[in-house]
Amino acid sequence: MKNIFPKIKINSATYILFLSFLLTGFIKNILLIFLIVIIHEIGHVFFLKYFHYKIEKVEIFPFGGLTTTNKYINSPINKDILIYFGGILFQILLYFLFVFINQKGFINQNTFSLFLRYNKSIFFFNLLPIRPLDGGEIIHLFLQKFFCYQKTLFISHYISVFFLIAFVLYNIKSNLNNYVIVAFLLYRTIDFFKKRVFFQNKFLLERFMYTLPYKKIEHNAKQDINNLKKETLHFFKDQNKYIHEKEVLKRKFDIHSFL
């Protein structure tokens, strides 16, 4: 666990918010927010380490964190869901810890009330079905159990857009910090949509290059690699026989087929 700490990066907006809280005397507030965000990200890191995924960095924003890894898009769905639930789970554990130390009298009621407010806000904010929030990523992963990967990119994008609009309308008269959150979510939503072809190609390239574990087999009459699903090995009909998906992917990625 110790080798993750050098990879923690504090976003510049976080420093600005931290300074503003210090100058206005809300030191306890920012420390509690910072603690909750760190514990939340440690939850993700714990399960990433448990499943032996490499962590590239953990970036701390004023309203939460963002942990990035180099794991495959084709990694097991249930493992990925557990990783995204990790932050929420660790916040629940932190809640019970604060209940305990409050009952023992180690903190006053004002501190406990502040913690409850911030922990609840960050908890439910991360459950919003907007990518890259945990709720959005979990929904994206659940969709992959039933639809091809390309279709999940579009469905999860439109879900994100719908709930982002709802979030903006709900917070339209809110404070500056919420505008920063909206700007970040809007940027990431647009960025995900722009990179949808990149993600689809990366998904397909992984299936061509690596031997992946599959839970089921599906036979397809039409040779369309965009219909590939995660955790499903596909065979495509070619005249009177079925061929392995790698044979179809080879036409897209193997350089020798163009020579």
pLDDT(1) > 50: no
Per DSSP, the residues of 110-169 read HHHHHHHHHHHHHHHHHTSS-TTSHHHHHHHHHHTTTS-HHHHHHHHHHHHHHHHHHHHH
What is the share, in percent, of the chain residues with pLDDT greater than 90? 54
pLDDT for residue 73: 93
pLDDT(256) > 70: no
Q: Could you read off the pLDDT of 38-93 as tens digits, one per residue?
A: 899 999 999 999 998 988 888 887 667 788 888 899 999 999 999 999 999 999 99
Distance CA 22, CA 74 (A): 44
Q: Are β-strands 55-61 and 64-69 bridged in parallel, bridged antiparallel, or unpaired?
A: antiparallel
| Rounded mean pLDDT, 205-210 | 92
pLDDT for residue 63: 66
- Angle between helical axes of 196-209 and 176-194 (0-180°, round to 10): 50
User: Tokens representing 26?
Assistant: 């809300």
Q: Could you read off the pLDDT of 101-135 as tens digits, one per residue?
A: 999 889 899 999 999 999 999 999 999 999 989 99
